[in-house]
Amino acid sequence: MAALLHAYQDTLRPVGWTDWLTDSFFRVRALPPAVEKLDQLPSETQHRLRQMIQEITELADLTPPNTGHVWNERGASPLLTLQLGRIFVRYRISEDTRTVTIEHVVVLDDDSPLERAG
């Protein structure tokens, strides 16, 4: 039954990346250049990225609001990174607007070696 409900919920979610609402009522928006790269990914990869972003919004929903911006004078949220294999998604979380904004997507070619941080 749970699998059937999950499949039903997946069919209700929009296919595009430009603007969608998660179960935790966070809005996910992607900037046009990011959408262009996300749309080029295989559907299985897009599905997994959506799941990962959904999990991020669920965690953000559980986290108490940040009341102080001691480390960040302007109050802008930091640019975060989500990695899935050779795909890097750069995003921001706005607690005020309950929005996750996908700003950049970097897909490394198979010919590009991954550098190890030392």
pLDDT per position as a tens digit, 86-95 = 999 999 999 8
Decide which of 21 and 41 is more confident.
Answer: 41
Residue 27 resides in a domain: no
State the Cα–Cα distance between residues 54 and 72, nearest whole angstrom: 26
* pLDDT confidence of residue 77: 78
Would you place residue 63 in the very low, low, confident or very high pLDDT band (cuts 50, 70, 90)?
confident
Whole-prediction pTM: 0.72
Please tell me the number of Cα atoms within 13 Å of 13 on its side-chain side: 22
* Structural domains in the chain (count): 1
Residue 24 resides in a domain: no
Would you place residue 2 in the very low, low, confident or very high pLDDT band (cuts 50, 70, 90)?
very low
Q: Residue 90: which domain range? A: 41-63+76-110
Residue 83 resides in a domain: yes
Class of residue 48 by CB neighbours under 10 A (exposed 0-12, middle 13-18, buried 19+): middle
